[in-house]
Amino acid sequence: MMTRLYIFRKSVFTMAFAVRRIARNNIRAHQSTQRQILAVALYLFVACIAAQADPFDLIQNTYLVAVRQRQEHAGTIEYLSRGGYELAGGKGINFAQWYQPKVPDIQFDFMTQINPRIGLLWGFSSGESGEKYIVQPSARAGFILQQPLSGSTNVSLSFTQLFGGNFRERPCTADYGEIGGLQSVNCRLAATTLRPSDTLQYLVNARPIDQTVLRLRLNSHF
């Protein structure tokens, strides 16, 4: 019993350390608070899973469900990409160049099956950034319950909660010469009559639309 408990604790620590290390490597370019959110969320989630059953069984019963590009902020990015203006020297600025992703936000979804009727849903995404915006990395946790109704029909209830994944627009630093010097300004509004400090309130900071997802499904197999 003591040997199994030691292996269990060692496995939990090893899995948690590995997840935290991966999270830190993936989001090194983002703010430290964002790294902590992802690392802590994944660390706690793995520890909670491991506490419910033998860690070796959990690893064997964990499946990669999907790998996809997250596009929950695509509408916001497309809207902000519209328009442009001309600088004092005649150079044209196209907003679209500021909102092209350097690396897309890739999401990995997993399911750990506890028994034929209960599964744990979890996953994470890499985050995304462009010249004038950032999408935080995210972690997702939840569960799925299945209840057979007949030989070919069952009903399932799933719930997932997303941590992180916020969209945040970055300001520019503009030189207003002898009048104002260097100041932070909303890039899109730098050519307007608004004071630079007043434009900052219009920077977009949006949460993902899929933060909390609850689904009830009726599945039939023929």
- Per the model's pLDDT, the better-predicted residue between 5 and 130 turns out to be 130
pLDDT higher than 60, residue 82: yes
Instruction: Show the DSSP H helices in 72-174 as ranges.
Output: 74-80
Both tokens of 108, joined, read 């990995």
Average pLDDT value for the chain: 77
d(CA 207, CA 15): 29
What pLDDT, in 10s, does the model give residues 28-37? 434 444 554 5
Over residues 120-165, the pLDDT tens digits come to 888 889 999 999 999 999 888 888 998 888 878 889 999 988 888 9
Cα separation, 162 vs 165, in Å, equals 8
CA distance 4 to 85: 67
Q: Which residues pair with 218 in a beta bridge?
A: 155
Q: Is 208 left (phi over 0), alpha (psi -120 to 50) or beta?
A: beta
Q: Band the pLDDT of 17: cuts 50, 70, 90.
A: very low
pLDDT at 63: 92
**Which pLDDT belongs to residue 150?**
80
C-beta of residue 187 within 8 angstroms of C-beta of residue 52: no
